[in-house]
Amino acid sequence: MATLLNLSYLLAAVLFIFGLKQLGSPKTARRGNMLAMLGMLIAILMTLLDKQIIDFTYIIIGLIVGAGIGAYAAITVQMTNMPQMVALFNGFGGAASTFVAYSEFVAGNYVTSTGDPKLDIVITIGLSVLIGTVTFSGSLIAFAKLQGIMRGAPITFKGQQALNAASLIAVVILGGMLAVNPDNAILLVIILAIALLLGVISVIPIGGADMPVVISLLNSYSGLAAAATGFVLSNNVLIISGALVGASGLILTQIMCKAMNRSLANVLFAAVGTDDSTGTASGGRKDKSSVTQYTAEDAAMVFEAAQSVIIVPGYGLAVAQAQHVLQEFAQMLMANGTKVRYAIHPVAGRMPGHMNVLLAEANVPYDMLLEMDEINEDFQNTDIALVIGANDVINPAARTDKSSPLYGMPILNVDHAKSVMIVKRSLSAGFAGVDNELFYDQKTMMLFGDAKGMVTDLVKEYKNL
């Protein structure tokens, strides 16, 4: 029976890997998710048949409550709120690891048949509680910031780094003490408390706009927490799945950092940023008279004559809920024979890939969504680059101005297009607080207004032509 159980766990692990592999293409992705689901189902069912389980009361309660909450959240969440939802789920994953490890500890499952404590199990219990709890409290803070329960601005205080370091050292020492004296249960309670604190103080100094990195990192932690629990239970399917998720989160973290041209250390410790990408209010340092302002009517005529258009959406688009009307406009352009595509910057959203989901929800076919490297060369042959709700990711200063905080960040080559239209409320700077010289360029037409209102006007004027 134990062999059968282990083989079914192996099957589950294989299905997870195949599932993730099929997530590599939008054609197979849905099937991939189903495969992973099947793997999970097999693992759960075979575990329930295990003879260690003698009482199903609490299991059934737990499954019903958990499934109810999970299903409700999954069905009702709005796509713009995906980042906080994933943050919350990461937190639950971490909490589950903590609870399992703690339960094993309380049940005394760290001793050999002769009654001696097993050092490796005690250490992995400590690790599992530490990583799981940091993931939990860190994710809750990330959730609160993304949901707007907490202000997005970095919260810093004197001695923060020192407190971080001291907490980590304390945990290591307590872990050592626990390994020597596992019967001293209070030690694990203290580790748990410090881990809770550590999760909070390591996420509060991170600004709202850096949250994509944090969610990715916490995603990685939730995987590592599962793997640590796998070590506690000597259960390979937990270790494999945890490692897969850990690797996935780490890769996404790296991609996000690269797209912002920041090091992970800089994101985690530098406390960069204001409240959110709404940015600091700084008027243009340049002469505002050089700004070309267009009305929707003027712009519609320019679009009428255009052969090709690349739309550059930013998070401001989603905030204004203008995706649907934008796609309506794109379809009108296409019906008129204009080639339309979307250029997606890696950080155009609040989590990796977020903008793609938001546009997919607005029925934009995924073959119209192109990532930065695929489309950047095409801007020079494009008549109009239409920028909505994006700013820093199109700022040419990132390429040329060494003094700019954006310098070195990969940007979309919007300025290479034959003409540029920017829908924006005002000339204010972006998240980085840097003025955008593109606003003052001769080929740039500024369409001042709310994204949704302006695109709606564009649709109306375009129809009237």
Partner 1 sequence: MEDAILVSIYVFVLAIFVGFEVITKVPPLLHTPLMSGSNAISGITIVGALISAGAGHALLSTVLGTLAVICATINVVGGFMVTDRMLEMFKKDKKEEGK
Q: Which 356-375 positions form the footprint of partner 1 (CB under 8 A)?
A: 356-357, 360-361, 363, 365-369, 371
- Name the token pair of 191: 């580790």
Note whether 264 binds partner 1 by CB under 8 A: no
Q: Residue 274 Cβ, how far from partner 1 at the closest point, in Å?
A: 25
Q: Work out whether strand 384-388 and strand 308-313 pair parallel, antiparallel, or are unpaired.
A: parallel
Q: Which CA distances in Å does 225 have to 96, 173, 278, 346, 463? A: 9, 20, 35, 27, 55
- The sign of the dihedral angle between the CA atoms of 35, 41, 46, 47 is positive
Using the contact rule CB under 8 A, the part of the chain among 196-204, 346-354, 397-405, 432-440 near partner 1 is 346-354
Note whether 242 binds partner 1 by CB under 8 A: yes
Q: Which residues, at least 6 apart from 375, have a Cβ–Cβ distance to it below 8 Å?
A: 310, 341, 343, 412
Using the contact rule CB under 8 A, the part of the chain among 99-107, 202-210, 271-279, 320-328 near partner 1 is 99-107
What are residue 422's DSSP bridge partners? 387, 446
Q: Which is nearer to partner 1, 27 or 402 (CB)?
A: 27
- Contacts of partner 1 in 368-427 (CB under 8 A): 368-369, 371
- Contacts of partner 1 in 177-216 (CB under 8 A): 215-216
In angstroms, the CA 80 to CA 70 distance is 18
- Contacts of partner 1 in 102-121 (CB under 8 A): 102-104, 106-107, 118, 120
> Out of 1, 54, 186, 335, which residue is the one contacting partner 1 (CB under 8 A)?
54
- Contacts of partner 1 in 74-93 (CB under 8 A): 74-75, 77, 79, 82, 85-86, 89-90, 92-93
- Contacts of partner 1 in 120-139 (CB under 8 A): 120, 124
- Name the token pair of 100: 């399992």
Active site residue 441: no
Q: Residue 292 Cβ, how far from partner 1 at the closest point, in Å?
A: 33
In angstroms, the CA 174 to CA 168 distance is 10
Question: Considering 210, 276, 392, 441, which one is annotated as catalytic?
Answer: 392
Q: Which is nearer to partner 1, 195 or 429 (CB)?
A: 195
Q: Which CA distances in Å does 192 have to 129, 144, 415? A: 6, 21, 52
What are residue 419's DSSP bridge partners? 384
> Out of 147, 156, 160, 248, which residue is the one contacting partner 1 (CB under 8 A)?
248
What are residue 444's DSSP bridge partners? 420
Place of tokens 């009482």: 55
Q: Which CA distances in Å does 189 have to 169, 186, 323? A: 16, 5, 48
Q: Which is nearer to partner 1, 93 or 279 (CB)?
A: 93
Which residues form the catalytic set? 392
